[in-house]
Structures are given as structure tokens and as C-alpha cells.
Amino acid sequence: MVGTCAMVTNAANEPGPDELPGGRDRLTGLEGLAGARARLERWRDEAGEGPAPVQAMLMGLRRFDAVNLAYGADAGDAALVEVAGRLLHFAAAEIEGEWLVARLGGGTFLFAANEASSRERWQSLAEMLAAAIARPLGNISAGSAMRLWPRIALMRAKGRYEPQKLIGAMAHTLEGLGQHEGRRIGWVDGDDVPQGRGVAQLEGDLLAALERKEISVLFQPQFDCRTGRIVGAEALARWEHPELGRLGAEALFGIATRADQTAQLSNHIAREALSLAADWPEGLRLSLNITPADLATVGYVAEMIGLIDASGVPADCITLEITEQALLGDLERAADLLRRFSDRGLAIALDDFGAGFCNFRYLKILPLDYLKLDRTMVEGVSDNSRDLAVLRGIVTMAHSLGLKVIVEGIEREDQCAVIAAEGCEFYQGFLGAKPMEAKEFLQLASAG
């Protein structure tokens, strides 16, 4: 991690060479260094004289310069965009309060949360994030599956911190990790990494939680862009671990993957969500996520159809969401399975479009009904003409294919106004509502 400390502690508040006016990173669309400082300052000031409950991670990608040399700058850029998408999804899945994901230059990223967290939980989230980032990046590297190996510096802010010093302290720790081949995570305060619960024990905890039905389902409401009316919700998983606290979908599925229990976890979420959705007002849609393990399970379609029939939820009120990551295996087989669902009246959505590879072949082969845009595709649409042009082109293409557009991560009124004006049909995000318990969603949906 040579040069990281100098790079992220530059005293200038002006946007750097990789930043757009307003502080955003040109390549990934994330906040840049200036934007990150401004957000951290706001969190500090909002806390007043009290302690600011800010948790932060600074992540560096090991030997990223070698990636550019080996595969070319375009492949390196594509890898950084994919890493940015994974960071955003992880943050959205794990943090209920306000959070920040920023690129500070090169292969260095900042992830911070404005919420209280135990040291053990923040450590566990760092381990799970490192595992998520280290997954293969697909065919970005012209035929081979590239992997990037992160190192992460952690800290919990105390009192009225200075953002520049906070970032600088993590950068110093990150450089120190580079001197120890076996260490990938370290705390700024120099204390030993808390032991927490080992991987094997976490896997055992998950199996027991599934057996006892302790994995709960929350619902992220989805809204009509023009009327603001609730049209349905996406089912999301949460686990209140007795020692680590709340773990969201990314952490849950990371543990489940290592324990070879992904299909079981996915089945549990679908079963619980369908049971709860049976009480919803008529016409509301339920969105369920499909994992690679689901597609690989023999008899998955028949089992899923059986769950739907038994629940009483009409098949034409269900959307199955699948990400490009889940399609990296046998695309033809995945398309065949999805057609069988489509033939039974279920809708199919291509999820997180724009966060990864944007393989347009999927739009030709899959029986899609919806294109679900990742939050990175709309963050700058209200003040950046290039971002708006990209959104406009995608929406035009989707509509020409007969697809409706759902937009994720809408947090501001100006974003909502733009996507509505451009013809997007639906959105979800904190502007409308955060993920909520089933009872709360039912009350909200019934009132609307």
C-alpha cells in the first residue's frame, strides 16, 4: 500500500484530479475525498458536544497497480467499478443508519457508518466485507476470473474528531498492514483484533438460527414514481445475532456460502416472506431474490412453485430478482429455469443493473419483465448531464424491449423527480421508506 497515507491526507479541500465538481469520483460515481470529508464533518457537527457514533473502515486493494500492468487500464477500471458496487450493496444490506462509501483514489475506499456498533460487530463486518470483495470478478480480465485481495484498517471515532486526522490515522494503519503478509485487518488504536466468533462457530450459529427460525424477514417498500403509491416490497433477511448484533443480507449469505447453506437460507426467506405476504392488500407485489445456489439446486423450480401455491399469494403478484453475478455460470440453463417461472405467471427482474458488467446479452436471452437499476446509476442524475444521458439511454432501451424500470437507492426528492420525468415506473429507497418489519409494512400498505 505504498503512498496511501500521503494520498488520502492531502490538506486541500478542492476536488482532486479523479473527482468531479461536487466531490464525486469520476470513475465509480462514489463520493471522492472532498465529499467524504464533508459528510464526516456533517455527522460530527450533528452530534454536537456528545460523542459521534461513527464507525469507519479504510480498505486498500493489494498490488492493484499490478492489475493494470497485467490486464490493462480498462480492466483495472472495470474492477474498481465492480468493487464500488459490492461496497454499496454491502453497506445497504448491513447498515440501518446513514452510511458513506467513497473512493479516495487508486484502489483505496472508505466505508463509514453514522450509527453505534460494538467493536466485535464492526470487526465481523470487516471480515465479511473482505470476503465479499475477494470473490472472483468474472471475465473482467479477458478470459480469467480476477481476484482482488483487500486489507482494511478499522476505527471507532471518539468525541469531536477531525475527518482529515481520522482518515489519516486509518491510512497509516493500512500501510502498516502492508508490512505484515499474514494480516489483512487491523485497528487504528493498535489493540489486538478481538477474537469474536470464529468462522466455524458462526456457521454453526447460522444453522441453529435457521433451525429455530430466528432469521427474520424485513420488507423494503417499492413505490410508483408518478403517484407515490406503494406497489409492493422486496423481501430482505436480517439476523439479530446474540453476540454480534444485527447482521444483514450480505453478511448472512456470506456465512451461508461458507457453510454450504445458501439454498437453505434462501428457501427460509422465501417461505417466511410468502407467508407474511398472504395478508397483504390485493395487488401488491412481492419481490424475492434468486441466488446462484438456487439455480444450481435440482428441483428448485418445482419446489418454489409449490411454496407459492401453498402460500395463497397469486403467482402474478410475485417478482423474482436475479443479479448478473448469479448468471455467471450456465446462462442458458438459468434462462430455461426463469422461463419456467415466467410461464407460470411470475415476473422476472434483472437486479443491480449498472453495478457490475452490464452484459447486454442477458437482455436478449432472459425472459425479463423489469430492469432494476443500481443506485450508482442515478446518484448524479439531477446535477450531472452525463449521468442523466446514461439514465435516459437505459430507460429508452428498456422500454423499447417492453421492460419496466425499477430504480434502487432513491434518497432525495430531486432524484425521484428526475427518474419520474425520464419515464421510470417504480423506485425503492430511503426517500420512500427504510426496510421495515412485516406488521409495519402491512399498516403502511393498508393506509395507502
Domains of the chain (ranges; CATH) run 4-187 (3.30.70.270), 199-447 (3.20.20.450)
Of 92, 85, 91, 141, nearest in space to 356 by CA: 85
To 10 degrees, what angle do helices 331-343 and 300-311 make? 30
Predicted pLDDT at 417:
96
Predicted pLDDT at 269:
95
Predicted pLDDT at 5:
45
266 backbone dihedrals φ, ψ, rounded to 5°: -60, -40
3-state secondary structure 299-346: CHHHHHHHHHHHHCCCHHHEEEEEEHHHHCCCHHHHHHHHHHHHHCCC
Cell, residue 351: 437486479
The stretch 313-325 carries a mean pLDDT of 92
pLDDT digits (tens, 9 = 90+) for 340-383: 999 999 999 999 887 666 677 888 899 999 999 988 888 888 88
Predicted pLDDT at 388:
92
Q: Is residue 15 over pLDDT 50?
A: no
Q: Is residue 246 over pLDDT 60?
A: yes
Instruction: Indicate the pLDDT class of residue 56, thresholds 50, 70 and 90.
Output: very high
Beta strand pairing call for 347-353 and 318-323: parallel
CB 319, CB 348: distance < 8 Å: yes
| pTM of this structure | 0.77
Predicted pLDDT at 367:
95
Which amino acid, 130?
A: A
